[in-house]
Amino acid sequence: MANGVHTEEFELTMEDENLCAGSAKSEASLNRSGEEDEVTSVVSGRKLWRLVVVSFALLCILQAIFSISLRIAFRNEAGFKNLTKQRDELKRINSDIEGRYKSLTEERDELKRINFAIEANSENLTEERDALKKINSDIVASFKNLTEERDELKRINFDTEASRKNLTEQRDELERKLNISDSQCHSLTEESDKLKKRLKNGWLYFSGSFYYISSNEKTWQESRKDCIQKGADLTIINNREEQNFIRQFKKYLWIGLTDIETEGKWKWVDGTPLTRSFWDSKEPNGKTLENCGQIKNPNLQNNWNDERCSNTHNWICEEKGSL
C-alpha cells in the first residue's frame, strides 16, 4: 500500500513539472509574439502579458496546493490503516488480558476457599501438634534411656569380646604348643625306637653319632654302598676325639675320604673339603693309584693312609643322631 502511495505521488509530481514546463514554453511564445506585435500595439501587449503571467502564477499555486492535498490524503489513509491495525492488536491484547484476569480471579477465589479451610483446621492441627510434642518428648526420654542401656551393653559386649579373644588366643597357643609337643614326642619316640634298634644291631654311640664296624672286608665303593643301605655313610672324622674313638677298634678301616674326582684334592663323602687331617708320616703318597682313605695303624695318633680303592678292608659307617 505504501508503494502505491509513493507511485501516485511521483506521477503527480511529474504532471506538475510538465505543466510548469508547458507554461514556460507558452511564456516564451508570448514573449516572441509581443515583440512582433510591439510595433503595432505596445499598450495592449503589456496588459495581455500581465494577465497571462498572473494566470500562470495562480495556476501553479493551485497545482501545488492540489499536489500537497493529495499527498496529505494519501499519508492520512496509510496512517489510518496503521491505526486500524494497532486498534485490532490492542483489542486482541485486551481480550487476552480479560481472559487472564478471569483466570486469576478464579484462582484467587479458589485460594480464598483453601485458606478458609486451612484456618478452620488450624486449631485442630495446633492441638494435634501439642499432642505430638508431648509424645515426642516421651519418645526422646525413652530414647535417652535406651541409648544409655545400649552403651552399657556395648561396653559389656566389648569386655566380653576382649576376654573371648584372649581366651581364644590362649587356646590356640596351647593347641599349637600341644601339637608341637605331640610332634616332638612322636619324633622322639621314633628316634628312640630307631636308636634302640641301632644299638641292638651292633651300632655304637659316640658324641652325637652312631657308628657301625663291619665284620667282613669289601672294597671302598662296596663299603660305602653298604653304609648307604643302612641309612648312613662312611665315617667323617672332624676332630681328635673322634679320631681317638675310632683308633680303639684296632682295625684297618675304610673311612669316607677320597680324591677320586681331582688328584690331590681330598674330600669327604658329603662333599666338604678336608681341613683337619691325621695322615701318617709321608702320606698320602699313592698319587693316582691310591685314591681312598683308610685308618691303617691304630697304635699311632696320625694313622691315615691312602690306599687303592679296589683293595678290601673292614669299614666304619656313621649316622648322625642323639640319645
At residue 194, the pLDDT reads 66
The C-alpha atoms of residue 186 and residue 192 are separated, in whole angstroms, by 10
Place of cell 666304619: 316
The C-alpha atoms of residue 34 and residue 91 are separated, in whole angstroms, by 69
pTM: 0.44
At residue 9, the pLDDT reads 47
At residue 77, the pLDDT reads 79
Domain match, 185 and 207 both: no
Determine the residue type at 42. Answer: V
Q: Do 213 and 253 form a contact (C-beta atoms < 8 A)?
A: yes
Domain match, 313 and 261 both: yes
At residue 30, the pLDDT reads 46
Domain match, 295 and 211 both: yes
At residue 192, the pLDDT reads 66
Taking only the tens place, the pLDDT of each residue in 177-229 is 888 877 777 766 666 666 677 777 789 999 889 999 999 999 999 999 999 99
Cell numbers of 124, please?
485442630
Q: CA-based angle 185:191:192, to the nearest 5?
A: 85
Among candidate residues 201, 226, 244, the one where a domain is terminated: 201
Determine the residue type at 21. Answer: A
Domain match, 214 and 302 both: yes
At residue 320, the pLDDT reads 85
At residue 19, the pLDDT reads 43
What is the DSSP annotation of 9-50?
HHHHHHHHHHHHHHHHHHHHHHHHHHHHHTTT-HHHHHHHHH
Domain match, 278 and 302 both: yes
Domain match, 281 and 295 both: yes
Domain match, 234 and 309 both: yes
Whether residue 46 is contained in a domain is answered as: no
Cell numbers of 184, please?
616332638
At residue 175, the pLDDT reads 86
At residue 181, the pLDDT reads 73
Q: Which portions of the chain are predicted below pLDDT 50? A: 2, 5-10, 12-13, 15-17, 19-20, 23-24, 26, 30
Whether residue 100 is contained in a domain is answered as: no
Domain match, 211 and 288 both: yes
- Residue-number span of the structural domain to which 151 is assigned: 144-201
Determine the residue type at 113. Answer: R
Whether residue 213 is contained in a domain is answered as: yes
Whether residue 154 is contained in a domain is answered as: yes
Q: How many domains does the chain have?
A: 2
